[in-house]
Amino acid sequence: MISGKGAAVSPHVVILLASYNGAAHLQVQLDSIAAQDWPRWSLILSDDGSTDATRDLALAFAATRPAGQVTVIDGPRQGATMNFLSALDHVPDGAWAAFCDQDDRWFPDKLSRAVEALGTDPRPGHYAARTIIADPDLNPIRPSRRFTRPLGLRNALVQACMAGNSSVFNAAAVRVLRDAAPAARRAGVISHDWWAYQLMAASGARLIHDPRPCLLYRQHQASEVGRNDTIPAMTARLRRLMAGDFGTWLRANYDSLAALDLPPDSRDLLARLDGVMRNPPPRAVIDLRRGGFYRQTRAGTAALWLSAMTGALRA
């Protein structure tokens, strides 16, 4: 229990784990959840039709825990993003929520630090933290990038900074997420954590990014998707940006937010983003400048401007 502002808070945190053929590493993650020093948690493992031992491992873990603490459900079988969005429907009123990947290893104080940071403020709150990037055997490589520019909608609309595997939401934020999830599913958003960051920023939520890492992030050799600090990862990102993929993702995110009742200042920024995607150069560049959109690094922001100047963001 933590206290502040004359009140005490001891929230129940529902961990949402989207799984698919994760048997090779799932047990490590489950053990790290069991080792949390925050006692008030439950786990909803939404399995997307695994053909390995993932579901058996989850059920065996559930059998070792108090009755009802671990629930295994069927996912929609439409990929990880839709699995997470679907799992939000199962978070009960008044509970907090934490996204969880199937192959990381949480530090024991991951949840308690998030609860402490979000505190008793009744406004929607979204906590995330840096991670330790690790190799496939969980040998640490380096911390993830530390963000130095302000978090907010001008950043969120063009960059995902609040990593899903570290994200925790208070009860007010969960209500916002649950209410908005159907629009996100219809729009086909590409990433649940990018969408959550955008939604929280657009809704005026408190955004907290903890500079202390909270978990070991297992980086697989076959994928550089999660890395933001290597030349291959940055080159691949620039290639997708210039190929128009990024504009397609922006459009899906825009559609998911435009369907909602958002504050006027958020709607104004969405209108600017729509102009960036809809208009040819140089009008798109004007909308980008007037919107004040930015990424966390100068190189990233420069690439964003270059893509607008070449029409690569049109969607």
Provide the token pair at 150. Answer: 């302000």
Q: What local confidence, expressed as pLDDT, does residue 226 receive?
A: 46
Fold of the domain built from segment(s) 2-218: Spore Coat Polysaccharide Biosynthesis Protein SpsA; Chain A (3.90.550)
Mean pLDDT of 174-193: 98
Distance from C-alpha of 37 to C-alpha of 148, rounded to nearest angstrom: 29
- Per-residue confidence at 230, pLDDT binned at 50, 70, 90? low
SS3 186: helix
Mean pLDDT (the chain) is 93
User: pLDDT per residue over 64-80, tens digit each?
Assistant: 999 999 999 999 999 99
Q: What local confidence, expressed as pLDDT, does residue 227 receive?
A: 47
Tell me phi and psi for residue 216, to 5 degrees. Answer: -95, 120
Give the DSSP H or E segment for 155.
helix 153-156
**What residues contact residue 73 under an 8 Å CB cut-off, 6+ apart?**
44, 45, 46, 47, 87, 90
Domain span(s) for CATH 3.90.550.10 in the chain: 2-218
> What share of the chain in percent tops pLDDT 90?
89
> Could you write out the DSSP letters of every residue in 52-108?
SSHHHHHHHHHHTS-TTSEEEEE--SS-HHHHHHHHGGGSPTT-EEEEE-SS-EE-T
Provide the token pair at 91. Answer: 């978070």
pTM, full prediction: 0.93
Q: Does the pLDDT at position 248 exceed 60?
A: yes
Q: What local confidence, expressed as pLDDT, does residue 6 receive?
A: 36
- Per-residue confidence at 245, pLDDT binned at 50, 70, 90? confident
User: pLDDT per residue over 45-63, tens digit each?
Assistant: 999 999 999 999 999 999 9
Which residues, listed in sequence order, are joined to residue 75 by a DSSP beta bridge?
none
